[in-house]
Amino acid sequence: MDTVQVDLPNGSYKIYVGTGTLEKLGEYLPFEKKNRLFVITNDLVGPLYGNSLVESLQQYGYKTLYQQVPDGEEYKSFASAEELYTCAIKGGLDRGSAVIALGGGVIGDLAGFVAATYMRGIPLIQVPTTLLAQVDSSVGGKVAVNHPLGKNMIGSFYQPRLVFIDLQVLKTLDPREVRSGLAEVIKYGVIQDRGFFNFLEEHLAGVKALDLDLLSAVVKKSCLIKGRIVEKDEKERGLRALLNFGHTIGHALEVMTDYRVYRHGEAVSLGMVAAAEIAADRGLLAREEAERLAKLLANAGLPTVIPFSADEIIPLLSRDKKAQGGRPRFVLPLGLGKAALFDDVEEAEIREAIEKCRKKEE
């Protein structure tokens, strides 16, 4: 199986990428057989893959504990975490046990949070089942639950012991979720790797059709790019912030629509188009490159026209958790394949970019 390695001071880990490999996870776990594994999933993914995963782990000789939470972002909560702690205590989970997070980013973040805090931390295995989770949320160690007053407000950095990706499971994913994950994939090309951006332009149709060879290339490259960035800046003191390309305005759009209108990648797509517009206006990015980005996103089936006014969006920007001293921070592309962080973007520039992204409608 292919692997991508992430090297960090407090432990390195491998990301395994394969096809049809889910039931072989037991072979790759670094634990003694007497240890108990706590498989956490949701009530959509569980019936598809949970039962067979648990059976396979038992066949490898592991004792297991299994719990499903309801499907949905609203269950990435303290209440769910508490239920999972209860289940863990009743099931005799101890320091030698491990948590296996089987699902998309919601389960990865929630189960990761539980692993990070249960008995001050037990090993975490990420088994991401959405494209977004495979290319983004399962790598890098951010775990969190939501608070009623804000998303991802309570959390930690807690790296997994390993990440186990089976591309085959993407076949049951809603195509809209695939497109949402593609936004983050395209983001990696823009901020870090021009060759990868070109590759995506060339092979997008095959990737969207879930061609397994192409998916394998795309997922490995994405994990590699994210892994390298996390290695250099695990706790987001600088470089890691580049991963927020498209997220400043994207996040504002998610908040103003109460997370009900856009999938995360869709909001990020709009945010990337707007940020590219700002960069083009500053002369950092060629117009033609900004257009290539918008075209690639549109071909991926992602939105590129912002249906809200600058007046609606701008007030939300300074409230962003990542804003510094009330000033929004923007990652702007410096050509395709390179980006930098700016905290001097003027309101007028943002306004103009947003208005341009609205007009494209005509």
Ligand X SMILES: NC(=O)c1ccc[n+]([C@@H]2O[C@H](COP(=O)([O-])OP(=O)(O)OC[C@H]3O[C@@H](n4cnc5c(N)ncnc54)[C@H](O)[C@@H]3O)[C@@H](O)[C@H]2O)c1
CA distances from 293 to 219, 223, 329 (A): 19, 21, 21
Q: Which of 179, 234, 244, 289 is catalytic?
A: 244
Min dist. Cβ of residue 355 to ligand X (A): 29
With beta carbons less than 8 A apart as the criterion, state whether 196 and 220 touch: no
Nearer to ligand X, 48 or 298 (CB): 48
* Rounded CA separation 102/169 (Å): 11
Q: Which of 179, 247, 263, 329 is catalytic?
A: 247
The dihedral sign for the CA sequence 229, 232, 233, 234: positive
The string of DSSP letters for 4-43 reads EEE--TT--EEEEEESS-GGGHHHH--S-TTSEEEEEEET
Nearer to ligand X, 226 or 292 (CB): 226
Min dist. Cβ of residue 352 to ligand X (A): 29
* Rounded CA separation 192/183 (Å): 14
Q: Which of 34, 120, 260, 321 is catalytic?
A: 120
Task: Look up 362 and say whether it is catalytic.
Answer: no
Nearer to ligand X, 96 or 175 (CB): 175
Min dist. Cβ of residue 158 to ligand X (A): 10
- Grouping H, G, I as helix, E, B as strand and the rest as coil, residue 146 is strand
Binding site for ligand X (CB under 6 A): 42, 44-45, 48, 71, 73, 76, 103-107, 109, 129-130, 132-133, 136-137, 140, 142, 152, 169, 172-173, 177, 180, 264
Nearer to ligand X, 135 or 284 (CB): 135
The dihedral sign for the CA sequence 104, 109, 115, 121: positive
Nearer to ligand X, 33 or 176 (CB): 176
Task: Look up 147 and say whether it is catalytic.
Answer: no
Q: Which of 177, 184, 277, 289 is catalytic?
A: 184
Task: Look up 240 and say whether it is catalytic.
Answer: yes
Task: Look up 184 and say whether it is catalytic.
Answer: yes
- Grouping H, G, I as helix, E, B as strand and the rest as coil, residue 105 is helix
With beta carbons less than 8 A apart as the criterion, state whether 192 and 185 touch: no
Which residue's Cβ has the minimum distance to ligand X? Answer: 105
Give the helix/strand (H/E) hosting 163.
strand 162-166
Min dist. Cβ of residue 244 to ligand X (A): 10
Task: Look up 95 and say whether it is catalytic.
Answer: no
Q: Which of 36, 76, 226, 329 is catalytic?
A: 226
Instruction: Supply the DSSP symbol for 48.
Output: I
Task: Look up 203 and say whether it is catalytic.
Answer: no
Min dist. Cβ of residue 31 to ligand X (A): 23
Q: Could you give the residue numbers annotated as active site?
A: 120, 142, 184, 226, 236, 240, 244, 247, 251, 264
